[in-house]
Structure 1
Amino acid sequence: MHSTVHLLKSTSFPRVTRLKLDTLQVNLGYLCNQSCTHCHVNAGPNRTELMQDEQVDGLIALMQQGWVKQLDLTGGAPEMNPRFKRLVAAARQANVHVIDRCNLTILSEPGYEDLAEFLADHEVEIFASLPCYLEDNVDKQRGKGVFDASIRGLQLLNARGYGEQLSLNLVFNPQGPVLPPPQASLEADYKRVLFDKFGVRFNNLVTITNMPIARFGSTLISKGTFDAYMNTLKGAYREDNLKAVMCRSLVSVDYQGVLYDCDFNQQLGWPIRDANGRALTLADLGRNSLDSIDVVVGDHCYGCTAGQGSSCGGALAA
């Protein structure tokens, strides 16, 4: 990790200023029922870091202030935090839109049999990881049997209205050090194959660039392809994408309540700091508390601005 961080520190990326803050992206912990090669948080079944009641209570208090419009829950598998349902229910009661970054396989794990129904009852929007519509490619990236479990998860969600009345989005990550293909054409392929073979429906496909940090960054370094991938990202930089990057209206919160400009900065250990260099936490957060602090940038930011652009909501440009 430290070697990757050293390589990424940069002063060449353009300045990024904030817009109106309206989204909390919250990492509920690194515990996950899977260990994927592209995972930028190094999540897995043996991780023990989980957000506790103190931080969850702080998030609920912020949402009750009325300025938070969206709560974006990630992990690990966010649903494996035992406080997940309490947080979701409180957010919906405060009229906050909730996104669950779901890996699909969690829906069929023992103890989570009621999860799909809970998500549907609370009208939670789902962003579900499915790096390909072909079994071999998915299992290669995410583990044997993951594809079949993912399809079962999608069918469970479809049976509860997802893909029609409720929003179900699939997330594509490339398998190697390349930029994602055009989002619209890939979405058409996904929809055709998944419906024809499995009867699966979904709303949108979002393509996300693999970030050269954490587990994926270490893999690039070990294979000697880190520099080449960084050159690919920098060479495809598009200035127009700067207008729409997610860090302008979003703040990322780690499981301990520390604030970051994005989930990637969180994994690099680059918190938002005040003028005195103190790392900010949930206790410091308000509607306008970050307005005068620029986004912390580095070479990995080229991943969000390369080609069609990349955010947690998918491509930024056509």
Structure 2
Amino acid sequence: MHDTLPYLEPTDFPAIKRTTLAVLQVNLGYLCNLSCTHCHVNAGPKRIELMDRATVDLILEFIRRENIHTLDLTGGAPEMNPHFNYLVMQARAMAVTVIDRCNLVILQEPGYEDLAEFLASNQVEIVASLPCYLEDNVDRQRGKGTFSASVDALKKLNELGYGQTDGQLKLNLVFNPQDNKLPPDQKTLEAAYKQHLFEHFGIIFNQLYAMTNLPIQRFGSQLISKGLFTEYLQLLKDNYCQENLPGVMCRNTISIDWQGFVYDCDFNQMLQLPLGANLNRRTHLSELQSDSLTDSVIAVRQHCYGCTAGQGSSCGGALA
């Protein structure tokens, strides 16, 4: 489902403009080995949308031409795209920082046994979803057995050198609330994660990113079915913090979908809200120049309150 209508209504969210483009966030497709309840992409094993080689090459050409320094790969499970390894190697050859938004369980799936070693050998930064450090909570959100598989994957990453404070292999974890609440304080939660994971499993990692669930796609559908959509949106608005506005990720990032179309952020992509709120047509990466984005208007709607509520939320965690 797309549930676009609640978002396309007029909003009182403040107008914001883009700064200099620095990060290219690329959704390689909606295919995933999991079907998490908090997923705003509605990804899963039955999705067939995958970026093709021609669009991957277009991504690489844009990076080369526009001097992009960070490539942020997401999905679905981005590693399930058949051109994932090629894209990573080509980007790293240009000294681009590559981030893999990994669900961890994929590292344990048949056919992906060498994936962890590949990521390490290419010094790919891993941002790994682990929505809680307790087994029952993780399995409830992501499916039975996912916590155990995630722990095994984290141990393997640690063995490869990921998570060391003085190392080059960064391993950051992502927390998502289980219900219609804002995340707790990120620093406090990070300390709890680190203590529990080390004491029980010997696992270490660099940082924890506490992210707010946005009421889009699968999570939005659940809120609607429970009659909580309006209540949750009001929670986000009531906790709006203006100090978070300058740090929202859309100001220096654009989101590219599996077909190569451009959006102001990953959430707008899921709502099919075109770049700059140009509702008449979508912009394709093939027709985009990065200098045209500087000081351009960013498309905002009601869901944007999710990035500014409380301590704020971005692909790099809390803003406050």
By how many angstroms is 1:131 displaced? 0.6
Distance 1:262 1:234 in 2: 19
Q: Report the equivalent of 1:59.
A: 59
Letter matched to residue 300 of structure 2: V
Do 1:29 and 1:51's aligned partners in 2 also have CA atoms closer than 8 Å? yes
By how many angstroms is 1:67 displaced? 1.7
Distance 2:193 2:277 in 1: 44
Confirm or deny that 1:258 pairs with 2:265: no
Letter matched to residue 17 of structure 1: K
Paired residues for 1:156-167 under 5 Å: 156-164=156-164, 165=167, 166-167=169-170
- Structure 2, unmatched stretches of 5+, are none
Distance 1:21 1:102 in 2: 24
Q: Report the equivalent of 1:32.
A: 32
Paired residues for 1:1-318 under 5 Å: 1-2=1-2, 4-9=3-8, 10-65=10-65, 67-164=67-164, 165=167, 166-272=169-275, 277-317=280-320
Matched residue count: 316
Do 1:138 and 1:146's aligned partners in 2 also have CA atoms closer than 8 Å? yes
Distance 1:235 1:154 in 2: 37
Q: What is the SS of the residue equivalent to 1:259?
A: strand
Per-residue Cα deviation, 1:129-156 (whole angstroms, up to 9, x for no partner): 0011100000001000000000001011
Letter matched to residue 6 of structure 1: L
Letter matched to residue 251 of structure 1: I
Do 1:273 and 1:280's aligned partners in 2 also have CA atoms closer than 8 Å? no
By how many angstroms is 1:88 displaced? 0.4
Distance 1:279 1:273 in 2: 10
By how many angstroms is 1:293 displaced? 3.0
Letter matched to residue 7 of structure 1: P
- Judged with a 3 Å threshold, the aligned counterparts in structure 2 of structure 1 residues 290 and 142 are, in CA distance, closer, same or farther, namely same
Do 2:29 and 2:51's aligned partners in 1 also have CA atoms closer than 8 Å? yes
Distance 2:125 2:180 in 1: 29
- Judged with a 3 Å threshold, the aligned counterparts in structure 2 of structure 1 residues 75 and 276 are, in CA distance, closer, same or farther, namely closer
Q: What is the SS of the residue equivalent to 2:268?
A: helix
Distance 2:215 2:89 in 1: 35
Distance 1:128 1:11 in 2: 33
Distance 1:283 1:48 in 2: 23
Compute the TM-score of the two structures, normalised by the length of structure 2: 0.96
Do 2:176 and 2:211's aligned partners in 1 also have CA atoms closer than 8 Å? yes
Letter matched to residue 179 of structure 1: L
Do 2:276 and 2:297's aligned partners in 1 also have CA atoms closer than 8 Å? no
Query: Percent sequence identity over matched residues?
Result: 59
- Structure 1, unmatched stretches of 5+, are none
By how many angstroms is 1:272 displaced? 1.1
